[in-house]
Amino acid sequence: MNAPVQPSMLIKGATGDWEVVIGLEIHAQVTSKSKLFSGASTEFGGDPNAHVSLVDAAMPGMLPVINEECVAQAVRTGLGLKAQINLRSVFDRKNYFYPDLPQGYQISQYKSPIVGEGTVVVDLPDQDSFTVGIERLHLEQDAGKLLHDQHPTMTFVDLNRSGVALMEIVSKPDMRSADQARAYVTKLRTILRYLGTCDGDMEKGSLRADVNVSVRRPGAPFGTRCEIKNVNSIRFMGQAIDYEARRQIGILEDGGVIEQETRQFDAVKGETRAMRSKEEAHDYRYFPDPDLLPLELTQAYVDALKAHLPELPDEKKARFIRDFALKSEDAGVLVSERESADFYEAVLGQLADKARDGKLAANWVINELFGRLNKEGGAIATSPVSATQLAAIVDLIGDGTISGKIAKDLFEIVWTEGGDPRAVVETRGMKQVTDLGAIEKVVDDIIAANPDKAEQAKAKPAMVGWFIGQVMKSSGGKANPQTVNDLLKTKLGL
């Protein structure tokens, strides 16, 4: 992506505008029961070194055997990213020496990854959607965990995470602002969660980002980049990018040169700092792992996985817009989390007439339910109003049994007290009055009691609103507003 960047995304420096260029390497933990090359559990936590086999501890003579589900998950993810699936890929050894890596090398994929180029379409509020290119996705082992604060002179090593499968998803340098980078990670996380290939839980480290940042004059060749390692929240990532871009602009404007280096983000100070200099730069000495044969897949295998992919957020959004005439923004809100979309679909599934009320249901899910959940800090999973209950409320509005206003009272009752909305409407007499005779009597009474206002209304038809209000009040909000409006116009001679 080398199109001219929107001026609003440029950063103003002392000597003119700068464009920030961002590429991301996302490490996503593969959802699987056992590790990439051993039968030990991938469960989070656990006692120290409990989920560790002799393979994970790199005992002499142990051999890795690949977990077929991890391969399937990588292929599913590649398909979800509209990417090239490589039917032949190779595992390599990436050599480095550190206590979190008992083998002395990480089994990874270097020259021949399992997934090649793909794309992710990202939506931003108030902006056009943009596309981020995927460079590649490869499978690799996670490392163990080091605890430095348990002892004055020793580091504690727990290998529970060692050998768990990761997908490293490398983007092209296609992002031009911290907002775009955040939106991309959010979208990628949503896709992974829809696919069920990564739970996306950043607090547990299931999704971590290495962020490559460089700056340049708009349209100039790429500048030298710095890599910010292991950023574990989307918010921190935005802060790290903004800080790093400013730092680089400061150096360049003072006539300095950017050194390519690895940096880390200090969330407390809100700054990045150098981790290791060039002299200590790693020399990974990649070579094909002699313990593992090339990973060969058939097109039939890939096709079978493709046939069983779930509907992804972009397709779901398009379907909601097409079938229920939802606004793009509303459809976007519904599909942004799999749980939200599932809830909406559950409501749809129970509507008496979803073609008629699908849009109404979306409004109720977004405005009333999500609005209330946000206000009270609740999650969809623990919503006091179930999809069945909400569908019943929408049905009651849709078939004219209750008005939208009464429906809000009904929602409140169901939220706090529970119960079947239809039964609540019956027992509490909340039904909308559509009986013409009954409404007519109320209308007549109000006009009779306010002859002066009725006279004014003839000259100033907007006065009818006041009468509607009076009639609704007098009927406890149960009169059908359209009927009231029609009747009033006739009676007042408007």
Partner 1 sequence: MSVDAATVRRIAHLARIAVKDEEVPHLQGELNAILAFVEQLSEVDVGGVEPMTSVTPMVMKKRHDVVNDGEIADVVVANAPATEDHYFLVPKVVE
Confirm or reject binding of residue 154 to partner 1 (CB under 8 A).
Answer: yes
Compose the 205-224 pattern: x for residues touching partner 1 by CB under 8 A, - for all others: --------------------
Pick 102 or 200: Cβ nearer partner 1 = 102
Q: How far is the CB of 64 from partner 1 (least distance, A)?
A: 10
Site residues (CB under 8 A) for partner 1, limited to 231-290: 283, 285, 288, 290
| Cα-to-chain-centroid distance, residue 84 | 23
With 0-12 CB in 10 A as exposed, 13-18 as middle and 19+ as buried, what is 256?
Answer: exposed
**Binding-site member from 34, 206, 214, 383 for partner 1 (CB under 8 A):** 34
**Binding-site member from 16, 48, 418, 476 for partner 1 (CB under 8 A):** 48
Smallest CA-to-CA distance from 189 within 312, 70, 371 is with 312
DSSP state of 212: E
Confirm or reject binding of residue 33 to partner 1 (CB under 8 A).
Answer: yes
Binding residue count for partner 1, defined by CB under 8 A: 52
**Binding-site member from 17, 44, 49, 321 for partner 1 (CB under 8 A):** 49
Pick 203 or 279: Cβ nearer partner 1 = 279
Q: How far is the CB of 94 from partner 1 (least distance, A)?
A: 13
**Binding-site member from 41, 119, 233, 474 for partner 1 (CB under 8 A):** 41
Site residues (CB under 8 A) for partner 1, limited to 70-109: 70-71, 90, 95, 97-99
DSSP state of 115: B
Confirm or reject binding of residue 470 to partner 1 (CB under 8 A).
Answer: no
Pick 156 or 222: Cβ nearer partner 1 = 156
Q: Which residue has the tokens 């990564």?
A: 198
Confirm or reject binding of residue 146 to partner 1 (CB under 8 A).
Answer: yes
What is the CB neighbour count within 10 angstroms for residue 379? 9
The single-letter code of the amino acid at 241 is: I
Q: How far is the CB of 166 from partner 1 (least distance, A)?
A: 16
Smallest CA-to-CA distance from 368 within 338, 342, 405 is with 405
Q: How far apart are CA 434 and CA 484, in angstroms?
A: 9
For 126, the enclosing helix (H) or strand (E) is none
383 contacts: CB under 8 Å, gap ≥ 6: 343, 369, 373
* Interface stretch with partner 1, choices 157-165, 179-187, 390-398, 409-417 (CB under 8 A): 157-165
Q: How far apart are CA 140 and CA 285, in angstroms?
A: 16
Structure tokens at 459: 């000259």
Q: Which residue has the tokens 């206590």?
A: 99
Note the residue count of the chain: 494
Confirm or reject binding of residue 292 to partner 1 (CB under 8 A).
Answer: yes
Q: How far is the CB of 312 from partner 1 (least distance, A)?
A: 23
Q: How far apart are CA 157 and CA 219, in angstroms?
A: 47
| Cβ proximity of 108 and 121 under 8 Å | no
* Interface stretch with partner 1, choices 32-40, 167-175, 185-193, 466-474 (CB under 8 A): 32-40
| Cβ proximity of 398 and 360 under 8 Å | yes
Q: How far is the CB of 97 from partner 1 (least distance, A)?
A: 5
* Interface stretch with partner 1, choices 20-28, 53-61, 262-270, 461-469 (CB under 8 A): 53-61
Pick 294 or 476: Cβ nearer partner 1 = 294
Q: Which residue has the tokens 């430095």?
A: 148
Q: How far apart are CA 30 and CA 74, in angstroms?
A: 8
**Binding-site member from 6, 16, 65, 281 for partner 1 (CB under 8 A):** 65
Q: How far apart are CA 264 and CA 247, in angstroms?
A: 13
Pick 151 or 308: Cβ nearer partner 1 = 151
**Binding-site member from 22, 23, 32, 81 for partner 1 (CB under 8 A):** 32
For 474, the enclosing helix (H) or strand (E) is helix 464-474
Confirm or reject binding of residue 346 to partner 1 (CB under 8 A).
Answer: no
Structure tokens at 367: 């405005």
3-state DSSP assignment of residue 289: coil
* Interface stretch with partner 1, choices 50-58, 228-236, 382-390, 424-432 (CB under 8 A): 50-58
Structure tokens at 210: 């290495």
**Binding-site member from 6, 16, 54, 476 for partner 1 (CB under 8 A):** 54
| Cβ proximity of 194 and 313 under 8 Å | yes
**Binding-site member from 68, 126, 203, 452 for partner 1 (CB under 8 A):** 68
With 0-12 CB in 10 A as exposed, 13-18 as middle and 19+ as buried, what is 136?
Answer: buried
Q: How far is the CB of 376 from partner 1 (least distance, A)?
A: 38
Pick 51 or 187: Cβ nearer partner 1 = 51
Q: How far is the CB of 138 from partner 1 (least distance, A)?
A: 16
- Up-side HSE of residue 386: CA atoms within 13 Å toward CB? 9
| Cβ proximity of 98 and 155 under 8 Å | no
Confirm or reject binding of residue 452 to partner 1 (CB under 8 A).
Answer: no
Pick 190 or 272: Cβ nearer partner 1 = 272
Judged by the rule CB under 8 A, the positions of this chain that interact with partner 1 are 32-34, 38-41, 47-57, 65-71, 90, 95, 97-99, 146-148, 150-159, 283, 285, 288, 290, 292-296
